[in-house]
Structures are given as structure tokens and as C-alpha cells.
Amino acid sequence: MSEATIPVQAAAPPRLSEDLVAVGLGLGVFLLALVSLVGADVLGWLVTTSVWTDPSTALAPVSKAYASLGGGGALLVTYLILTAVLSAGAYLLGDDVRRFAFAFTAVFAIAYASWFVGSWAHLAAVTPADQAKFGVSWSLKLTNEGGYVVALLAGLAIANLFPTFAERLRSAVRPELYIKIAIVILGAFIAVTMASKLTLASSLMLRGVAAIIEAYLIYWPIVYLIARKGFGFSREWAAPLASGVSICGVAAAIATGGAIRARPQIPILVSSLVVVFAVIEVLILPFLAQLFISHEPLVAAAWMGLAVKTDGAALAAGGITQSLIQAKAAAEGIAYQPGWMLTVTATVKVFIDVFIGVWAFILAYIWTNHINPRAGAQKARLGEIWERFPKFILGFVATFLVTVALALWTNAGSSGQLTAAIGEANVLRVIFFVLTFFSIGVMSNFRQLWQEGFAKLAAVYLVSLFGFVVWVGFVISWLFFAGVKPPLAS
Amino acid sequence: MPKPDLREATSVHEPLLPIEKKLIGWSLGTGLALLVLLIIINHFVPLG
């Protein structure tokens, strides 16, 4: 994903790019979490939700130090502080702050209510012991991360049944901003997860290289060929479409559109389609993974990273897959250490993201020198690689490296403290995930896309995605990750 | 600049240029070769 996103109507020119705002907010959360290493718990007020049958017992502050707030108080404080901080972000992005704050209030309320509903024991309780503990005779066994699916469905319902309301929410429907902040925080969470098993972790990362080859050198040329030869699309449409299906969805389509000097609306139209199909994938693939390959958790996790487009949807799918497979394993008496599956999905996705700039430069060079060499037209510049580099990844790398260094250089006691500190930041990461899911749903108006004549574009996407992208992704994931299991929880 | 219309996306016949064929061929060839190489490395250097 690069700095490019499906644009939200800005009230003024942005003062900072979305990537830099995301890095600033993500690093801010990370640094506040680290303050607890010196004894000051400054994020303990964040609200968490436990699996519940009695709703009044579900909410609580993440830290006992803030127990006096109670669940409702923690929710209110979390909402107020998030609104204030994200409104500052909206100001930097050139949005109308007042409009953003009102819209965000509704977005937060519905998204968090979805998360709350997803934690209902009938949806979330996993093992027979859990069901007995909560006194429920049946459960969908989604774990409380089933709340992501509830948020997505709520967003879809609003987009398709209440389009006017969806339009009013628009200024706070920013899945790319939310997921980028979450990814920066995720760097620290992944580091804490990996710190105890660095050999396995580094080996898994090396396998991520296969994802780069697959996305850029296998998927892209095949989708481009299908679009051009099979469906007769012009180059201006085929290249952004190939990038949207093959690489990282929205941002790749927009970066490619810029690189080949396509009219700006083309990658945006392609991006709308990417989001819709990503939603469909999120609703199908994790459940297929649980059904058929729950005995190969890391294959399933890598598959989500390779097959599901857009970072938000891919990590969402990784998160759901992790919870579904862990739930199934737990029912069979196997307790995997949490976090490893999401780590593999994130690694695969981040590896793919890193090369968007390089690929866009290659396409820009070919288009401006060979395909469309106009006299006086601006040629491809090497600087475009940096311009299109997704800067939020630098935030991810920074939190990852700092946390690994802290974990390695501290003794076991303070490593426990580090895990607790990052755990508090992770509560916010989960909230940003929920906001992402809900936002993706709100952006997916199926009827509108159909009315705009997307059928043929959708046909290429459908043929490419479910014809080979999903299955080739599965085979490659199997080749590189089969037989490798996450460590067991102690 | 005219606003793009989905109908125009397929209405103009643009044959594949040699440079496009080269891009497709080289990408696929390099990709498959690198994948095979990685599979071999993966076979001899199992996950730790």
C-alpha cells in the first residue's frame, strides 16, 4: 500500500500525507506504551471487551490501575481521546475537523458496538469448557475476533441499505488510515511474539520473499495478459487492473495509474472493485481455511496474505483465520501461541508492499519510453521509487526493531513488562482493526458498482482472482509453509 | 482530460505491442526461475 488511497473529499490541501500521519500516530501509541517500562501506566484506561453473557460485565479498562473508571468510563475515555487524536490527524490531512469528529462518533459507536456483539458468548465461546463456563448450550465458536465480521457486515448493511447515512459517515470512513496506524503498532506486537523464537521468526521472514515474486512476477503478467487478450481492455485500464488484482489492491492500482500516466479516475474505479472483492474474500477464505487446512495454520496465514487484496482486508482475514483455527485447535486440545498466524500474514503483505515503488518505476519507464513516448511528456524519474514507497512501513520497521532490541537486551522480568506494555498498545491495534473492517464495509456499495457498468471489469477480476490468484497463492503457501507449526502456548 | 467510461475500456482495439509481450514474458520467466530457486533453497534450508 502506498500513500495513495481512494480519496476522501478534503476541505483543504493536506498538510501531511496519510502515511506520515499514520506513522506519527502509530509511533505515538508505541512510545506511550513504552512509558510503562519506567513505571507510569499511561494507556491503562483503554477499553477492552471480554466474552460475555451479562453485558454489564463485558467492558473494562485494560489495566487494573484504572479499575475505578469502570467499563463505561473506559469506553468513554477511549472514545474521547481517539476522537481528539484522530481529529488532529484529520486536520493534518486537510479534512473538515468538525465534520470528521461527528462522523467519527458514529463510526466508532457502530464499530465498537459490533465488536461488543461479536464478544457475546453465543458467538465467541470456543471450547466446551468455555461454553460450560458461560452457561451456553451452543456457540458459533468465532472467538471474540468474530467481532470483525460483525463490523464488516454492519458496514455492508449501511452501505447497501442506507446509502445516505453512509455518505454522511464518509469523512471518517478511512480504512487505509486506520490500517496503517494498526500496522505500525503491529510491528511491536509481532516483535514481542517473535522475540522468544528468533530462528523460526527469521526463517518465516525469508519465506516472505516468495510473496514478492509471486505478486509482481507471476500474478501481474498473467492478469495483464488476461485483461488485454482475453477481455480486450486497453492498456490504460489493464495495467491498473493487473496491479489491483495482483499486488496490494487499492494503492497498487493508484500507483500504477500514476506510473503509466492514466487518467486519475481509472485507478479509482478499479480500486472500488478491489475493495468489494476483498470483502467477499474476507467473508469466504478464512472459513475455507478453517474447514480444510486448520492442521496447517501458517499455510492458511500466508494464503490470506497472498490471496486477499488490500492490506486492511488481508490482515483482517489473517486475524479471523487465526482466531478460527486457534478455536478449532483449542477444541482438539492444541493451544497455539497467539500472534504467529497474524505475523505470517503481515510479513507476507509488508514484503509485497515494499516493492510497489520499484514496480511502478519499471512500468513508468516502459510506458514513457516505449509505449507512450510523447514529446515533452515527463519521463520516469528514479525519485518516483521513493515518492511511491509506502512510508508507513518505516513506522512498522521502527516499532519492530526497537521492540526486538528491547526484548533481547532486557532480562526475563522486564521482558514480561515489555509484553504487558505492548499488550496495552495492542488493544488500540484491535480497535483500529475494527474501525478498518467497518469502514471497508461502508465503502462497498454493490448496487452502485453494478449500476456503473462494472460487469466486465468485475469479470476480469473474478476470473483472475478465483481462477488462479487464490489457488496459486495456496500452492505457494503450501510449498513454503507446510509442516511448520506455530509454537505451542506454555 | 475526458472522464473515462467503462465502455471505452474495451471499445478501442489495441494489439499487444512487442514491448508488452517482452514485459509479460520476462516477468513470468524471471518469476518462475526465482520461485524454483527459492523452493530448492527452502528444501535444503528447512525452517528453524
- Taking only the tens place, the pLDDT of each residue in A430-486 is 899 899 889 988 987 777 777 666 777 888 888 888 888 889 899 989 988 888 888
Half-sphere exposure (Cβ direction) of A102: Cα atoms closer than 13 Å: 9
Distances (CA, A) of A423 to A27, A138, A206: 15, 30, 26
> B34 touching A, CB under 8 A?
yes
Cβ-defined contact of B42 to A452 (cutoff 8 Å): no
Say yes or no to pLDDT of A269 above 80. no
Query: Quick one: average pLDDT of A199-220?
Result: 83
Cβ-defined contact of A476 to B20 (cutoff 8 Å): no
Range from A27-31, A312-316, A359-363, A391-395 that averages highest in pLDDT: A27-31
State the pairing for strand pair A59-61/A47-49: antiparallel
Cβ-defined contact of B28 to A199 (cutoff 8 Å): no
pLDDT tens figures, A321-359? 998 898 889 888 889 988 889 889 988 888 888 788 888
Helix (H, G, I), strand (E, B) or coil at A47: strand
Among B6, B13, B28, most A C-beta atoms within 10 A, so best to mutate, is: B6
pLDDT at A415: 64
Cβ-defined contact of B6 to A209 (cutoff 8 Å): no
Cβ-defined contact of A229 to B16 (cutoff 8 Å): yes
Give me A183's grid cell.
500496522
Looking at CA atoms only, how far is residue B22 from chain A in angstroms? 10
Say yes or no to pLDDT of B44 above 70. yes
pLDDT at A1: 43
> A402 touching B, CB under 8 A?
no
Distances (CA, A) of A193 to A34, A153, A203: 16, 30, 14
> A203 touching B, CB under 8 A?
yes
A266 → chain B, closest CA residue: B4
Query: Quick one: average pLDDT of A290-315?
Result: 90
pTM: 0.78
Specify the amino acid at residue A401. Answer: L
Q: Helices (DSSP H) in A235-333: which residue ranges?
A: 235-246, 250-259, 265-292, 297-307, 311-331
Specify the amino acid at residue A397. Answer: V
Cβ-defined contact of B6 to A235 (cutoff 8 Å): no
Among B23, B32, B39, B45, most A C-beta atoms within 10 A, so best to mutate, is: B23
pLDDT tens figures, A285-296? 999 999 999 999
pLDDT at B29: 96
Percent of chain A scored above 70 by pLDDT?
93
Instruction: Please state, rounded to an integer, the average pLDDT across all residues of chain A.
Output: 86
Contacts of B38 in chain A (CB under 8 A): 209-210, 213, 480
> A200 touching B, CB under 8 A?
yes
Say yes or no to pLDDT of A413 above 70. no
Residues found in chain A: 490
Say yes or no to pLDDT of A5 above 50. no
> B40 touching A, CB under 8 A?
no
Give me A137's grid cell.
448450550
Query: Quick one: average pLDDT of A24-41?
Result: 91
Query: Quick one: average pLDDT of A210-217?
Result: 90
Say yes or no to pLDDT of A361 above 90. no
Query: Quick one: average pLDDT of A13-26?
Result: 89
Helix axis angle, A412-442 to A265-292, nearest 10°: 120
The residue to which cell 478449532 is assigned: A328
> A222 touching B, CB under 8 A?
yes
Cβ-defined contact of A269 to B6 (cutoff 8 Å): yes
